[in-house]
Chain A
C-alpha cells in the first residue's frame, strides 16, 4: 500500500487520531491510532521526496562505467545490507547489473553478498524483498556468516587479525552499496561499516561492539571526526573497495538521493544530505508525552531502541520531567536475532532501567511479542502494552485534562536540531 504524506492527524468528537507508517518489509502500511479527544498532538514529519527515476540512477552510474573500463575486472561482488536496514534496493541494483553486463560481467561473474554482520541469514523471499525478484532469479545470492567462509586480509586492527568474507576478498571488483540512517556510534550507518562489522568475522564484530558499548567510539549523527568511522575507513581503504553507492531514502523507504564513487567521499556527501533531510525542529517547550515509532527499523525488538534517536539527538529534553515516552514498534519478526546481543549471546546482559529515562516514564507498545519477551531487552519495570486501547486509557487517566504530545512517525531516522 502506498503511504500518504503528510500523515493524517485530527480530532473527532470521540478521539484524537493519527496514522503511522508501520511494519517495514512486512505489511508496510499506515496504521491508525487513537488517543483521548483532549490530547493536542504535533507531528514531526519527514518531507515527502520523489524516488530516483531510472534515468537519475543511470546518470549516477557513469562513474561506475569508467571504473570498470579502467580496471577490466573478471568478476564482481555487490555487498548489500539486510532487512534491518530500510531501503528498497531493487531499482538501484537493477541498473547496477545493467552496467556490469554492459562491461561483460554477466550472471556467472557477479554475485550479491548480504552483509548483515551478526544478524541472521535471510530467506530467499526476504532477499527478493530487498533486492528484487529479478536479481534473485539471475544472480548467486550469498549470505555472510561471521563464522565461516572467511579469509584473512593483510591488515590488522590494533593487533587483532582481520578476516572478511572470502567471496568478497577474492572478487576482482568490489562494490559496496548501503543506505544511510542515523547511527548511535558511527554517526550514520553504511560505508565502511558494511565491511566492519558487515562482512567481518565474529572476533572483529565482537571488538567493534565492545568498543562502542564501552563508550570509546563515536556519536550519533556525527561522521566527520568520528573515531570509530575513521578507523574502519582506514581499514577499508587498506582492504580495497572499488566502488561505493551511498543511498538516502524517504519515509517510504525509496531511494531519493545517491552518491557514488569513492567510499569515503561519497559516504560523507550522503551523510550530509541525510543529516539535513532527516533533521527536524520541534517546539522549545518540552512535551507531556512523546511517541517514538521505530519505523522503518521496526522489524524486531532488538532494533527498537533506534526509536530513541530523536530524543538522543535533541541535546535538550523533549519530554517534561514526570512526562511519558511511548516506544512503538511493529516488531514484525518478534525479538529478532543478533549473534552478540540476543538473549544467551556473548554480550547479552539482563536489561536495566535506562539512565536517559530517569525523569520520565517509558511505556512500550509492541506487537507480535509478549511482556516476558520484551523484558529480555527492556527492563521489566517498563509497562508493556500489546493493546493500544489500554495504553490510551492509561494516558487518559494520567492526564484527565489532556496533554501536549509529539509524534515521531519515523523515529529511527529522525534527528532533532537545526537543518
Chain B
C-alpha cells in the first residue's frame, strides 16, 4: 500500500477533506472530485519524479489513473 498512501498524501488538500473521508483504494478519484485535468498533470509529474518512471502518452487512460490501486499497479508495471 506504499504507493497508494504516497499518492493519497500527494493528492490531499484541506478543502477536499470531505472527499477523502472513507475513500477506498478502488474508488474513482475523478467521480469523487479529487482529481481533474489540472491535478492530473501534477500527479503525472509526481509519479515520474518519485518513482523514476516515464508516463507515455499512450498510457493516459482512466483505466491507469482513476483509482489508487490502478495507479499503484501502473507504477509497479513501469518499474
Contacts and interface: CB of A to CB of B under 8 A. Distances in A.
Interface string B24-58: 00000011110111101100000000000000010
A205 to B, nearest CB: 13
B11 to A, nearest CB: 13
A2 interface: no
Interface in A337-378: 346-347, 349-350, 352, 355
Contacts of B38: 215, 355
A159 B64 CA distance: 13
Select the residue from B30, B40, B62, B63 with max chain A CB neighbours within 10 A. Answer: B62
A214 B65 contact: yes
Contact of B66 (A210, A212, A346, A352): A210
B36 A215 contact: yes
| Those 3 A-B pairs whose CB atoms lie nearest each other, nearest first | A215-B37, A349-B33, A216-B60
Nearest to A349: B33
B31 A346 contact: yes
A236 B16 CA distance: 39
Contacts of B65: 214
A53 interface: no
A151 B10 CA distance: 42
Contact of A158 (B15, B32, B36, B61): B61
A159 B32 CA distance: 24
B31 A207 contact: no
A213 interface: yes
Contacts of A216: 40, 60-62
A15 interface: no
Interface residues of B, number: 18
A221 to B, nearest CB: 17
Select the residue from A213, A214, A215, A227 with max chain B CB neighbours within 10 A. Answer: A214
A211 interface: yes
B30 A210 contact: yes
Given A210-B30, A350-B33, A215 B40 contact: yes
A214 B66 contact: yes
A207 B57 CA distance: 17
A312 to B, nearest CB: 13
A352 B33 CA distance: 10
Contacts of A158: 61, 63
A346 B31 CA distance: 7
A214 B62 contact: yes
Nearest to A159: B63
Nearest to A158: B61
B60 A213 contact: no
A213 B29 CA distance: 11
A211 B62 contact: yes
A394 B63 CA distance: 47
A158 B35 CA distance: 22
Interface string A316-353: 00000000000000000000000000000011011010
Contacts of B37: 212-215
Contacts of A347: 30-31
B35 A214 contact: yes
Nearest to B62: A210
Nearest to B19: A349
A213 B40 CA distance: 10
5 contacts: A210-B62, A214-B36, A216-B40, A227-B57, A355-B38
A1 to B, nearest CB: 40
A350 B62 CA distance: 21
A135 B36 CA distance: 42
Contacts of B40: 214-216
Given A212-B37, A214-B30, A214-B66, 16 more contacts: A210-B30, A210-B66, A213-B30, A214-B35, A214-B36, A214-B40, A214-B60, A215-B37, A215-B38, A215-B40, A215-B41, A216-B61, A216-B62, A346-B31, A347-B30, A350-B33
